[in-house]
Structures are given as C-alpha cells and as structure tokens.
Chain A
Amino acid sequence: MTDPMTGPVAGRAAQPVAEAGAWWAVPAAPALLLGLAVLTVAAGAVLDARDAGRAVTPRTALRPLLDVAHALVRQPRRLPASDRLLWRLGVVTVPVSAVLAVLVVPFGGHAVADPSVGLVWFNAMEVLTWAGLWLAGWGPNAALSLVGGYRFLAQGLAYELPLMFALISAATGAGSLRTGAIVAAQQDLWFAVWMPVAFAVHLLGVLAFSFTGPFAYPTGRDLAGGVLGEVGGADRLLLRAGRRLWLAAGAAMAVPLFLGGGAGPGLPAWAWSLVKTLLVLAVLVAAERRLPVLRADRWVEFAWVVLLPLSVVQALVPALVVL
C-alpha cells in the first residue's frame, strides 16, 4: 500500500510532478482556460459551416467572436418582478466556478494550487453550477426559464453520483485526493487504461455539467431556450461562456485524472498536457454535435440503473488493487 500521507511518489523523484504556487500560474490558468473555450467556439463554427456546405475560411472561425462585442453593448433584458440579485448571482456563478475549478488542475507539472483535497475542490466547484443554473432559471420570473433550471437539477441528480464514483476511482487508484499525486500515480499506466468506465463516465459528466450536447435539455428548443431564453446582452454572454469554460475545464481535468497528466516521451510536459487536453476537447466537441438531446427522465433512468452500478464496480477495482 502506498503511503496515504504523501501519495505514491513513483519515479522522477528529482522532478516534482505538480509544482504549485508560481505567481504566473494565477493569470495563466484562467487565460489558458479561456483560450481553450474560445477554441471550442471556433471549432463549432467551422464544423457548422462545413455541415452547411459553406466555405470554411478564417472568417468563419472568428465570426462568433464578433458576437462578444455585440453582446457587451446590447442592453440587458428587464422583466417585470424579476429577482435581479439572484439572477445576476446565478449568471456569474457558472463561469466563475469554472475558473475556480481549474485552480487545482495541474497543467504540464504546474498548478495554481495543489491542496490536499484538490479533487474534492473540483467537484465542489462543479456542483456550484447547480446553484448557478437554478438561479439563472429562477431570476427572470419566467415559467420556461424556471423549467430549464429545474431540468438541470433533474439532470444533476442523474450525472452527479456516477461522476463522483468516477472521481473516487481515480483518487483510490492514487491513494490521494491531491491532483498532483494522482498524476504521479500514473507514471507507469494511465488510469484510463484500467479504469475505462470511470473515464467514460467522467467525459459524460463533463458534457452534463456543461449542459451541452445530449445534456442541453435545460436550454432546450422546446422551452424556447430554457435558462438561456430570457437572458440578453452581457448576461447571456456570461452563461454561454460558462458553458464553454466548463467544457474546457472538464477536459483539462480529464488529463491529470485519467491520461497521465504531462507524462509522455520527447515533448516537454506542458506540450503533452496541451495535446491531450485538445484531444479530449475534440472528442467532446464531436460528441456534443452528434448525440441527440436526452430527456431527463430517460437519462435519470439510464444513469441510475446502468451507470451507477457500473461506476460502483469500477470504483471497487482500484480499491482491490491498491488497498
């Protein structure tokens, strides 16, 4: 059994796997996250243009970014008897929690912070989107918007438990909740190889807490946009940015949890982290465009009847191997 106080320090004793607290990491982590999020938006625009048979030019990729300036100057929407305080709070919570979550994500051996409970911190920040989306649905005092907020909670009850077991599997495999220690434990074999179910559940969870692709139910067209239906201007920009930021944050977290972090031959650690994160993001962007939206009751049933037992069994595997 590995020492639970420090986590396994396999190999590379001279080179610490996650170096925390460099001053430049504080602005770099949110900037990198924003860059990855913008990249997913551009990739979506390019794929849209290709699917529609339009010519793909650099303009196509940059076009959605023009909407940012447009959204910033547009007047925010006002509705009768809306709860503006809670509405704003919810809209701001979604992107802010995504940024807070990546503080513990090691990127090529560097993290803003590497606390002893990094994994739980990521999970807690992710759960804050529950509050954010429900508030964003409640705030405008509009029925369809509120239904969207409730839909996210129903979805949350389905994805959260399997996701927690997936995260616990990685933590058990490393014998530590420290993200740096989880990376260190994969020097020999990636967790994705011997915990494929946990990896898949994590990717599904990323799509779910980004409320995108098959989990775009809270913003469904049948609800005239749901939680996005009543927001305009900067509020709308923040919510949609939060969605892409969470997709990027989830992809960035999948790399240290299941794909060995920055480990790899030849290239420096940051390059491997970047390559792996981009690959995971590409898979997620492709999946969100191909899979149809799932109704919450069907998804809850699948999550509880199929995914939850599978992820419990998956968590048992590292428990037996490591402990």
Chain B
Amino acid sequence: MTEVLLAVSGVAALTGGVLVFTLDSMARVTFALLGSLVCVGGVVALLGLPYLGVVIVLMMVMEMLIMAVFMVAYMMNPAGLMPMSMLHNKRGAAAVSGGVFLALVAGIALAPWPDRAGAPPRDSTVQVGAELMRGQMLTMVTLGFVLLATMVSATVLATRRGRYDRFGDDLDRPAHDPVSGGVGR
C-alpha cells in the first residue's frame, strides 16, 4: 500500500514538474508547481517523516500563493491568462538540467549507502526536533538571524516612507499617513 502511494505521489510530482514547463498560463504553472510540491510532501510523509511532510505541504501552499501574486504581477505578459512560456535559453537550460539529472542519478547509483543501524523511531518528529535543536542549534540560530535580517532589510529597502515621514523630524507628532486607520494613528 505504502509502495503504491509512494509511486503515485512520485509520478504525480514529476508530472506536475513537467506541466510547469508545458502549460501556457502563469496561474496554471504556479498551481502545477504547487501540486508537484504537495506530492513531494506526501513522499516525505510516506518515507516516515510525517511532520516534515505535512509542514512541506503547509509551507508550500502559503509560499506558492504569495509567489502567485508576484509571478502574475511581474511576468512579461501582464494579462497572465494569455499564452506564455516558462522556457528561456532552451539549449543552455536543457544542457544544465540534463547534466544535473545525470549527476544526481549517478550519485544514487554510486554512493555507498549505509545499512540500517537500529530500528526506526515510533515518532520521528521528536528526532527531527532534537537534531535541529540540540546538535544543530548554532546552525539554526545563525540561520534564523540571517533570515530575519534579510526580511528586515528587504522591507526597509522596499519602504518608501520611514518613521521620520510618519512622525516628523523629532518623532514627536501623531503619525501622518496617506491611509488612516490601524494602530497608532
């Protein structure tokens, strides 16, 4: 049963990946990619990591919906429903992706896979948490700060109006905003 589900999810994920490059609407491409990623989440869950699998589904749905907004907004063809193509630099892309695919397959065939030592845990979520928060704590904390710094700086760069525009040069007057309402106005 698990093998059948695994095969179905894997084939569906690949099909979604192919559709990303064959469909001609940005919205459909986005949701083909989302479907593919959801299937990857299913594969991960079936491989015995339910937490990571479901979190992949959760995060990818949110992420791809935000992506959809930007992909539709910034695409060359602003209508989005018009025929469009995800293919650019076809020969170079085919060479690079073919090379990467062959290298990964070679890796699967050539890597000395270890034999299983011990039994799989009953609830792998605890192991994932312990691995991230014990052994890799420093990595995760560094990663967290880097991500936070990136988000803050991207927001600062994107914001036209700063606090001096809102609260005056001495930050001593009520906020002066083009749209009123909300907190502190």
Contacts and interface: CB of A to CB of B under 8 A. Distances in A.
Interface of A: 4-5, 81, 83, 85-86, 89, 115-117, 120-121, 123-124, 127-128, 130-131, 134-135, 138, 141, 150, 153, 156-157, 160, 177, 295, 297-298, 301-302, 305-306
B133 to A, nearest CB: 11
B166 interface: no
Contact of A127 (B62, B68, B69, B182): B62
17 contacts: A83-B25, A85-B28, A86-B27, A115-B50, A116-B51, A117-B51, A124-B55, A124-B61, A127-B61, A130-B61, A138-B27, A153-B65, A160-B62, A295-B181, A297-B179, A302-B182, A302-B183
Give the interface size class of chain B.
20 to 34
Q: Give the interface SS of chain B, mostly helix, strand, loop or mixed.
A: helix
Contacts of B28: 83, 85-86
A89 B31 CA distance: 10
Contacts of B184: 305
Best-surrounded residue of A86, A121, A138 (most CB of chain B within 10 A) = A138
Interface in B116-170: 122-123, 125-126, 129
A83 B31 CA distance: 13
Given A83-B81, A138-B27, 15 more contacts: A81-B81, A83-B25, A86-B27, A86-B31, A89-B31, A116-B51, A116-B123, A120-B54, A120-B58, A153-B69, A160-B62, A177-B51, A295-B181, A297-B181, A302-B182
B65 A301 contact: no
Contact of B57 (A83, A116, A124, A150): A124
A89 B30 CA distance: 14
B27 A83 contact: yes
A306 B184 CA distance: 11
A160 B63 CA distance: 12
Nearest to A119: B54
Contacts of A128: 61
Contacts of A177: 51, 125
A153 B61 CA distance: 12
B4 interface: no
B34 interface: yes
Interface in B36-63: 50-51, 54-55, 57-58, 61-62
B67 to A, nearest CB: 11
Contacts of A116: 50-51, 123, 125
B71 to A, nearest CB: 12
A175 to B, nearest CB: 10
Given A5-B122, A298-B182, A134 B50 contact: no
Nearest to A6: B123
Contacts of B65: 130-131, 134, 153, 156
A134 B68 contact: yes
Given A83-B81, A153-B65, A177-B125, A120 B55 contact: yes
Nearest to A116: B123
Contacts of B27: 83, 86, 135, 138
A121 to B, nearest CB: 6
A150 B125 contact: no
Contacts of B129: 4
A301 B177 CA distance: 13
